[in-house]
Amino acid sequence: MNTGHPDGVAALARALRERRISSEELTRTLLARIEAERELGAFLCVDAEGALAQARRADERLARGAGGTLEGVPLAHKDVFVTRGLPTSAGSKMLAGYASPFEATVVARLGAGEPGGPPGAGMVTLGKLNCDEFAMGSSNENSAFGPVLNPWDRTRVPGGSSGGSAAAVAAGLVPAATGTDTGGSIRQPASLCGVTGIKPTYGVCSRHGMIAFASSLDQAGVLARSAEDCALLLSAMSGHDRRDATSSERPAQDFHAQMRAARAGADGGRPLAGLRIGLPREFFPPALAADVAAAVRAALAALEKLGATLLDVSLPRTELAIPVYYIIAPAEASSNLSRYDGVRYGHRAAQYADLAEMYRRTRSEGFGAEVKRRIMIGTYVLSHGYYDAYYLQAQKLRRMIAEDFQACFAHCDVIAGPVAPQVAARLGEQAHDPIKAYLADIFTLPASLAGLPGMSVPAGFGDGGMPVGLQLIGNYFGEGTLLHAAHALQQASDWHLRTPGATA
């Protein structure tokens, strides 16, 4: 049994509120750790002065018994969220040195609050985190600013695209970080780095100020040490935003209170009694690595011991999620990225004869190989004559994939399986084989296409002592159920408490 990680958000928020530590002291400690761990490549920019100023203001509010729900707790943001006063690059040379005139809603809500709105949660921003260029990738090797190393084994990738977020939390540089998930970019790095990550239902968090990759799939979320910590941040960052037309009209929810209420109502040693967990047989194919399968099965057995019932279910179109996603996401990306034309944002080629050449050179120089590949695929599938054959077909299949989930949710509450088919790969292993990387997204893409919430929960260790994540997928707006199940598991296990260098 455990009561959460001592360096986790919940514990730190409590210590700050009870004035056992100061935010300034905590901020200094983490800034020193970040400095000592520069080799990891997790941060693209560190704002020591700004963070200390925020921390001092937080300490003043705490001294008055005031402040937000997470007042003074430090965090860092994936560099896909725009921030005022700090550069935002989305891991791309195209945006190197770009400074936004406004702040993403998620950033504002976790920090000082939106302009003219209520005060925010009061968290202290330490800096911005490395990621794959425009969030395209699953190893963080597509960042224009270099890869991120996995803190569990520095010869391996941390996963992606939120690789900096996952590595920073795993290495103890921040208690929590924001991330974005379009097809798995929170869950997969969380799994590969042994931290807890949640991508909520599409629309729960505002996309305002989140640099667009594939707008119908992009969602903001959190990576932290525990489900409880994720619940605390998610409550603060979610809720309707009139600046994002796709943001849900539902009022902001207190996921933390829901998680606790569910636990209080639960029967003693069986907090998950009555919870039906569906295991899609397509999530346990023969090709699934044995070490991953074993860890996932052990976590499922632990959930069963807590009272959950495991059921066999089927998501028959799982395999189709790969071609469907890799048509829809590039199609939307090719449209979203057309705004980087050298006129409005970021990079512009130094030399050109005319406007057409300026566009061509700017985009050739500014984008990396993977981004160019996606723009080409996207432009192709949207072009006249191919639109019906590819894009329209993919949209139809996307709907069928979503329907398969609803058929499962008719008789189960949560769907579970692995997050990734293997533990973290060695750096460089997949760099020249994009198809191999795309295929490894198989278990995370379906929930993204359906717009469902998904989590990665640490579930032990596989080959080389590398972390393995259990994926939990909920029905629409079922974040509370996911967080409750994950929290119950974390109360009864200690996988999430292990840190790199202390695996034994």
Closest distance between ligand GLN and the C-beta of residue 126, in Å?
22
Q: Which residues bind ligand GLN (CB under 6 A)?
A: 135-138, 161, 181-185, 213, 329, 441
Question: Quick one: 136 or 262, whose CB is closer to ligand GLN?
Answer: 136
Question: Quick one: 132 or 228, whose CB is closer to ligand GLN?
Answer: 132
Residue of 92, 100, 162, 185 with catalytic role: 185
Structure token pair of residue 216: 């119908």
Whether 335 is catalytic is no
Closest distance between ligand GLN and the C-beta of residue 102, in Å?
22
Question: Quick one: 175 or 183, whose CB is closer to ligand GLN?
Answer: 183
Nearest to 31 by CA among 50, 5, 12, 59: 50
| CA 337 from centroid of its chain's CA atoms | 21
- How many degrees, rounded to 5, is the angle at CA 319 between CA 308 and CA 439? 100
Residue of 161, 226, 238, 248 with catalytic role: 161
Closest distance between ligand GLN and the C-beta of residue 444, in Å?
7
Closest distance between ligand GLN and the C-beta of residue 89, in Å?
15
Nearest to 371 by CA among 79, 143, 98, 139: 143
Question: Quick one: 430 or 490, whose CB is closer to ligand GLN?
Answer: 430
Is the Cα torsion angle 119, 24, 221, 299 positive or negative in sign?
A: negative
Residue of 22, 23, 78, 162 with catalytic role: 78
Position of tokens 């690789």?
A: 163
State how far the Cα of 347 lies from the Cα of 367, in Å rounded to an integer: 10
Closest distance between ligand GLN and the C-beta of residue 451, in Å?
13
SS (H, E, C) 28-68: HHHHHHHHHCHHHCCEEEECHHHHHHHHHHHHHHHHCCCCC
Closest distance between ligand GLN and the C-beta of residue 318, in Å?
16
Position of tokens 């869950």?
A: 187
Whether 78 is catalytic is yes
CB 178 within 8 A of CB 165: yes
Question: Quick one: 138 or 481, whose CB is closer to ligand GLN?
Answer: 138
| Chain residue whose CB lies nearest ligand GLN | 185
Whether 305 is catalytic is no
Segment (H or E) for 346: none
Q: At what angle do helices 479-492 and 290-305 cross, to 10 degrees?
A: 90
Structure token pair of residue 429: 């292993």
CB 468 within 8 A of CB 503: no
Question: Quick one: 53 or 439, whose CB is closer to ligand GLN?
Answer: 439
Catalytic residues: 78, 161, 185
